[in-house]
Amino acid sequence: MSTNTMNSSSPNVRTSWAARLMHTLGLVLLGVLLTGCERPSPESVQSGYRGTGMVQVYNARLLEAKTDKNQPPFAIPSPGSDGPKAAQAYKNVKILGNLSVGEFNRLMVSMTSWVAPQEGCAYCHQLPNFEADTKYTKVVARRMIEMTRHINSDWKPHVAQTGVTCYTCHRGEPVPSAIWFKSNPQPYGANFMGDKAGQNTPSPVVNMSSLPNDPFTPFLLDDQKIRVNGPTALPSGNRQSIKQAEWTYGLMTHMSNALGVNCTYCHNTQSFQNWTNSPPQRTTAWHGIRMARDLNQTYMESLTDVFPEHRKGPTGDVAKLNCATCHQGAYKPLNGAPMVKDFPELLKPALVSTKVATK
Ligand code: HEC
Ligand code: HEC
Ligand code: HEC
Ligand code: HEC
């Protein structure tokens, strides 16, 4: 036995070497398999009637990481609306003129901390000329204030009284972490391959599935049909197709990811199209789709000429928003912390002045 092992050319030694290799490989494989198991084991919460399978599955560790990311920022107390108005005190105030100087300055300091805490006032202002509109960031910011007011005043069916501030999207960064551009259209070559519709190109947008990886252009910019169920039992004049359904599934996958929920958060999967069996969250989501589309069309696209080239996408379009821009993995952005409560300046002025008038 021992003489055998001493002899390196004996077949026995080779077998044990191979056995050891197999053993190591086996351990590695087991390790790979076990990393598939979640730690700690997930918890499930029922969100619909028994037997409908409407459950949300949570992993406490991932939930905790998300909770840390979704803490609302500290709000500087308001100095009140007394005193001279910003329109009187400053030279080039186009939209914030009705605020008191105190409210105006609180908003400037807060905006700085929400959008450009590293860069400070100089991110938007050509110091020391605060009135100059020379930096594109200031021109964008003015439009962003109007957009934020529009969201808080006109999109209550989606954002309710919770509302948003710049922080909901920006989280202390000049460029929000979740934005999207139109994808580069696939060039048609001399081959006979059709457009692959952004499929089979793994993308986190659709959770690495083989669904079309730009469901945003048709649904959150253009107004393409999302419903896929045919209106008639027989294919008489029914234009719905599996191809069309794949685009809808792409959007739905993004929505689930953006909110950190399963399909069953909004659907009873017995019938995806049925509204009477859907929880109220689906109606909120319906408004959310229209809101995202409106914001992209009315606000983001109108800024195309203002943004410098290096901020634009491969086809020269401006950055746009989707569900993840605000939600960032939470079913309510910042876990539902009321944002507009402390900043009535971010409601449309008409609403603020009626409040003042009734005082
Ligand atoms: C994210 C962009 C942004 C940042 C950062 C910012 N501002 Fe502004 N600021 C604006 C915009 C937009 C206006 C114009 C508002 C309007 O037209 O109603 C403005 C206007 C002003 C004005 C009025 C100037 C005039 O005479 O017309 C002052 C003063 C001012 N900001 C001070 C500050 C100070 C101080 C800071 C830093 C604490 C700051 N801003 C940070 C965007 C910004
Ligand atoms: C609904 C989401 C959303 C809200 C709310 C929002 N923004 Fe933006 N903001 C965006 C997106 C998307 C962009 C485009 C990103 C880029 O710059 O490429 C952007 C860009 C900007 C930029 C340009 C940054 C750069 O470096 O190019 C400024 C400045 C800005 N926002 C200021 C504000 C201010 C101030 C507020 C609050 C009054 C605000 N934003 C609220 C989504 C939002
Ligand atoms: C946050 C809520 C929400 C989540 C999560 C969600 N959906 Fe939807 N779903 C909707 C809404 C709202 C509509 C209707 C859209 C419209 O008509 O504009 C819809 C429509 C659909 C339709 C078309 C139904 C018809 O009328 O033909 C299908 C199919 C669908 N969803 C599948 C899914 C799948 C699969 C998932 C999970 C990957 C999912 N949904 C996750 C809200 C949601
Ligand atoms: C401008 C920011 C913003 C964008 C963009 C946005 N949401 Fe929301 N959403 C909110 C806010 C704020 C709330 C909390 C409203 C409340 O407190 O009831 C909310 C609530 C919801 C809820 C209700 C959650 C619940 O449990 O009651 C759903 C569902 C939802 N959003 C889906 C979507 C979908 C789907 C999209 C993209 C198509 C989207 N949202 C885009 C800001 C946004």
- Residue 248 Cα to ligand 4 midpoint, Å, equals 19
Instruction: List C-alpha distances in Å: 227 to 157, 252, 274, 324, 336.
Output: 21, 11, 11, 22, 29
Per residue of the chain (359 residues), what is the pLDDT tens digit? Answer: 444 444 444 555 566 777 888 888 877 777 666 666 666 777 888 877 777 888 888 887 877 877 878 899 999 999 999 999 999 999 999 999 999 999 999 999 999 999 999 999 999 999 999 999 999 999 999 999 999 999 999 999 999 999 999 999 999 999 999 999 998 776 655 556 667 778 877 888 888 888 988 999 999 999 999 998 877 777 777 777 888 899 999 999 999 999 999 999 999 998 999 999 999 999 999 999 999 999 999 999 999 999 999 999 999 999 999 999 999 999 999 999 999 999 999 999 865 544 444 44
Ligand 3 atom closest to the Cα of residue 289 is: 18
CA gap 294, 236 in Å, rounded: 34
**What's the predicted TM-score (pTM) here?**
0.89
Number of residues that this document lists for the chain = 359
Ligand 2 atom closest to the Cα of residue 179 is: 12
173 lines ligand 1 (CB under 6 A): no
In which residue ranges of the chain is CATH 1.10.468.10 found?
74-172+349-359, 178-231+239-327
| R_g (Cα) of the chain, nearest Å | 27
Q: Distance between the two ends of the chain, CA-based, in angstroms?
A: 101
Q: Mutation test of ligand 3: which of 272, 283, 331, 332 has the most ligand atoms closer than 8 Å to its C-beta? A: 272
Ligand 1 atom closest to the Cα of residue 142 is: 12
Are the C-beta atoms of 116 and 310 separated by less than 8 Å?
no
Place domain 74-172+349-359 in its CATH homologous superfamily.
Photosynthetic Reaction Center, subunit C, domain 2 (1.10.468.10)
> Where does ligand 2 bind, in terms of residues with CB under 6 Å?
111, 115, 124, 137, 140-141, 144-145, 148, 164, 166, 168-170, 174-176, 179, 311, 319, 321, 325-326
Tell me which of 3.50.50.60, 3.40.50.300, 1.20.200.10, 1.10.468.10 is the CATH number of domain 178-231+239-327.
1.10.468.10
Would you state the structure tokens that stand for residue 101, as one six-digit string? Answer: 């100087």
CA gap 268, 288 in Å, rounded: 19
CA gap 46, 351 in Å, rounded: 39
For residue 246, which ligand has an atom nearest its CA? 3
